[in-house]
Amino acid sequence: MTTQTRLSLKTDQAASEQIPIAAEASFTHSETFQWTQQWYPMAVAEFLDQKSPHAIQLLGKELVLWCDKDGAWHCFEDRCPHRLAPLSEGRVEADGTLMCAYHAWRFGSEGQCLDIPQSLDLETAKRHRDNPRACAIAYPTQLQQGLIWVWPESGAKAKQLSQERSPRTIPELTEMPERAIKLFWYVRDFPYGWDFLMENIADPAHVPVSHHGIMGNHYRDANYYDMNPVREVSTQEGFAFDIRPVPTILKKAVHDFQPPCHMRIESTFENEGQMILALYASPTRPGWCRHIGCQVLIKDTQGKTPPGLGFFAWPMPVWLGHVLAPLFLHQDLAFLHYQEKRIGHQERGNWLEAVYTPNPQDKMVIALRQWLKIRAGGGIP
């Protein structure tokens, strides 16, 4: 069979099941999703030592997170304005400033230079400190629901824009704290890109197969189901799909993609009890992403707590959760790494043509790839 025959067969068979690309084709440039004007969760605050700076990466930028003496987290470019030493190798001093460990210049929470110890006299020091070139480059940062969120653009305009947009948090934790039980956060850096992780968590069909033994059984549970959109596809707000038929213990199961970083998997039981998987992915550098996640259990109207996800919902200390989470997370790691490698080497930018997806279980993955291609500039910049 020639490639062309194979492709047209695929198109014919799958056309009725896939979101039509044609309907998506009329977007103007002004509606393109802006990857750098977004909040990304980069760390779980309680896991970080407040006395040290921490190197992170976001969209290929080298950044540093550090905490001042009031407990507020800040994010700077990880280069000292003096001679570019990494500030992540510096120290958080007792006065709550960040000191570069190379020549001891010090910086305040906005990046302002507060000390250049080698100066001739106080007046010269002040003049040099006041030069904008003496400042560290600061990025908007905030703490929400225990996560440190970073906005990957700096400057006055970025600061203003960042204040106009909210991070993709879990509304139930704020709106119904009496019913919501948050289980432990976990963090993992994966050797595959943001899009492959998002694709993976938009794809419930892989769960009983890849996660055989921990979450389902690959002989018994790899079954037919359909996925249908439950809200309109939006450049800024993403899209959501439900699963039909739902497994018998559920009333509803919805996968909700909220760009740039959030997939919320919501399982609703009888009496409105819910299990929410709050999954985050931040693009760190090419071929890598940072995954942060937790489960939130919403008590039903009778006050009963619904079941969580396998043994991860059992009462356990956070450290044990961290030890056990990779058992699950590593089960499909190699698949995703090599998926990306194959696309990267052979069919870059051509995902929709490279795959064969005749079944409706792949609808949300296709929607994600189309959203990236048509609404988000082709993917992570």
Residues forming the site for ligand FES (CB under 6 A):
80, 82-83, 85, 100, 102-103, 105
Instruction: Please tell me whether the peptide bond between 117 and the residue prior to it is cis, using omega within 30 degrees of 0.
Output: no
Q: Would you say 74 or 206 has its CB closer to Fe ion?
A: 206
Q: Do residues 192 and 287 touch, judged by C-beta distance below 8 A?
A: yes
**Burial class of residue 160 in the structure, from the number of CB atoms within 10 Å of its CB (0-12 exposed, 13-18 middle, 19+ buried):** exposed
203 in contact with Fe ion (CB under 5 A) = no
Dihedral angle over CA of 322, 53, 101, 135, nearest 10: 150
Residues composing the chain: 381
Which residue type is seen at 219? Y
Q: Would you say 134 or 147 has its CB closer to ligand FES?
A: 134
Q: Would you say 86 or 377 has its CB closer to ligand FES?
A: 86
Under DSSP, is residue 40 helix (H, G, I), strand (E, B) or coil? strand
| Residue carrying the six token digits 């996968």 | 255
Q: Would you say 116 or 263 has its CB closer to Fe ion?
A: 263
Residues 290-329, one symbol each (x = binds Fe ion by CB under 5 A, - = not), give ----------------------------------------
Q: Would you say 209 or 318 has its CB closer to Fe ion?
A: 209
Q: Which does 332 bind (CB under 5 to 8 A by kind): ligand FES, Fe ion, none?
A: Fe ion
CA gap 366, 205 in Å, rounded? 14
Q: Would you say 106 or 262 has its CB closer to ligand FES?
A: 106
332 in contact with Fe ion (CB under 5 A) = yes
Q: Which does 44 bind (CB under 5 to 8 A by kind): ligand FES, Fe ion, none?
A: none
DSSP 8-state code for residue 32 = S
CA gap 230, 268 in Å, rounded? 15
Question: Measured from the CB of residue 302, what is the shortest distance to ligand FES in angstroms?
Answer: 60
Q: Which does 288 bind (CB under 5 to 8 A by kind): ligand FES, Fe ion, none?
A: none
Question: Measured from the CB of residue 35, what is the shortest distance to ligand FES in angstroms?
Answer: 30
CA gap 318, 166 in Å, rounded? 28
The contact set with Fe ion (CB under 5 A) reads: 332
